Amino acid sequence: MSTDSTSPQPTSAPLILRALRGEATERPPVWFMRQAGRYLPEYRALRSRSNFLEMCHDADLASEVTLQPLRRYGFDAGIIFSDILLPLQSMGMELRFEAGEGPRFPNPLRTDADVDGLKAFDPERDLPAPMRAIRLCRAATDTPILGFAGAPFTLACYATEGGGSDAWVTTKRMMYEQPARFQRLLDRLADAVGDHLQAQVEAGAVAVQLFDTWAGALSVEDLRRFALPAAARALSRVKGAPRIFFTRDAGPFLPYLREVGADVYGLDWRVDMAAARAALGDVPVQGNLDPISLFAPPAEVKRRVRSIIAAAGPRGHVFNLGHGIHLDTPLEGVDAAVSAVKEWTWG
């Protein structure tokens, strides 16, 4: 397509920022959750020489990994390479990632003394790598960089359970039996991750995302009592950049999500985009391709991408997956999806 010199100049704000602010864009910007990760051969090459936590704490490696998917696919934003569990480590919890297992906290929080024993968290002092990596990325590329953190409820799940779980029995028992203790933990975590997000904004992140991966384990009653207010508390500490709230189970919670007070809502892949738009009202959204659909033939990937863009409409939509990219994802599936987004033009 040739450039029409009579058409209005695009504003100077980057595409992703315009969409995150709810503006109409000529096409949606695109980035993928976990785009800096194991499906990329160049990531696996680096990862084979370093362990995961070392990479997170090394700003040079973290920025390099952040830039890899931008070079290969031209995503409209990078998401800084880090992990949601690092603030818990900075607050004094021993954290292990062992081969073939998920994360482990060998000494989970169980008592009032455990919760009160969490150390104060100063992001620049206690977890400087993500901010340094953001600054390095900003020096290396014009592509906007996103910061992120885990939501208080999701972090509380890992901190109390000691690792991943299907049922979160220990977490929920504390919530039921010691709601004041659980609330104090959420408050501590909300303040910590809120400050961490703000530090990332100050380091140059164009926007930040709060990941409430496990909020979908809760009933609506518990979600509204614990998870959403804690996420709102965290986000209330962030100024100067759009704040995205993502939960892996937005579907049943659509009528309540806006209690978080985020600027943008990330949708998982089980939610029909048109229904989500109707339920959420006039607020920007992000999502929501099934990450496993990237394994489909390229033409089918493209059809699915276009269907989501059409349903989302021209205003305030950031294209993304509905969950993190699967580590075995074929590169051609990613290419098909990104191309389909970039080929789109609104009328």
> Is 72 labeled as catalytic in the residue annotation?
no
83 tagged catalytic: yes
| Tokens linked to 179 | 């709601």
Options 252, 259, 261, 335; binder of its own copies; rule CB under 8 A:
252
Residue 63 CB-density burial (10 A; 0-12 exposed, 13-18 middle, 19+ buried) = buried
Residue 32 lies near its own copies (rule: CB under 8 A) = no
Q: Does 101 bind its own copies (CB under 8 A)?
A: no
CA–CA dist 82, 52 (Å, integer): 9
**Among residues 290, 306, 313, 335, the one that binds its own copies under rule CB under 8 A:** 290
Q: Is residue 282 involved in binding its own copies (CB under 8 A)?
A: no
Size of the site for its own copies (CB under 8 A): 39
For residue 259, state whether it binds its own copies (rule: CB under 8 A).
Answer: no
DSSP notation for 184-252: HHHHHHHHHHHHHHHHHHHTT-SEEEEEETTGGGS-HHHIIIIIHHHHHHHHTT--SS-EEEEETT-GG
In the chain, the largest separation of any two C-alpha atoms, in whole Å, equals 67
Q: Single out the residue of 317, 239, 249 nearest to residue 283, CA to CA.
A: 317
Q: How far is the CB of 340 from its own copies (least distance, A)?
A: 15
CB-nearer residue toward its own copies: 120 or 275: 275
* Residue 327 tokens, joined: 């580590």
Of 275, 310, 343, 346, the one binding its own copies by CB under 8 A: 275
Tell me whether residue 270 is one of the annotated catalytic residues: no
Binder to its own copies among 58, 114, 202, 249 (CB under 8 A)? 249
- Regarding 251 and contact with its own copies (CB under 8 A), the answer is yes
Q: Which of 284, 280, 267 is nearest to 321 (CA)?
A: 267
Q: Is residue 326 close enough to count as binding its own copies by CB under 8 A?
A: yes
Which one of 149, 157, 271, 321 is in contact with its own copies (CB under 8 A)?
A: 271
Strand 103-104 and strand 96-97: pairing? antiparallel
Is 256 among the residues known to form the active site? no
Does position 255 interact with its own copies (CB under 8 A)? The reply is yes
Among residues 39, 43, 158, 265, the one annotated as catalytic is 158
**Cα R_g (the chain), whole angstroms:** 20
Residue 79: name the closest of 68, 66, 70, 69 by CA. Answer: 66
Q: Residues with catalytic annotation?
A: 34, 38, 47, 83, 158
The residues that touch its own copies, with contacts defined as CB under 8 A, are 167-169, 172-173, 176-177, 216-223, 249-253, 255, 269-272, 275, 290-293, 295-297, 300, 304, 307, 322, 326, 328
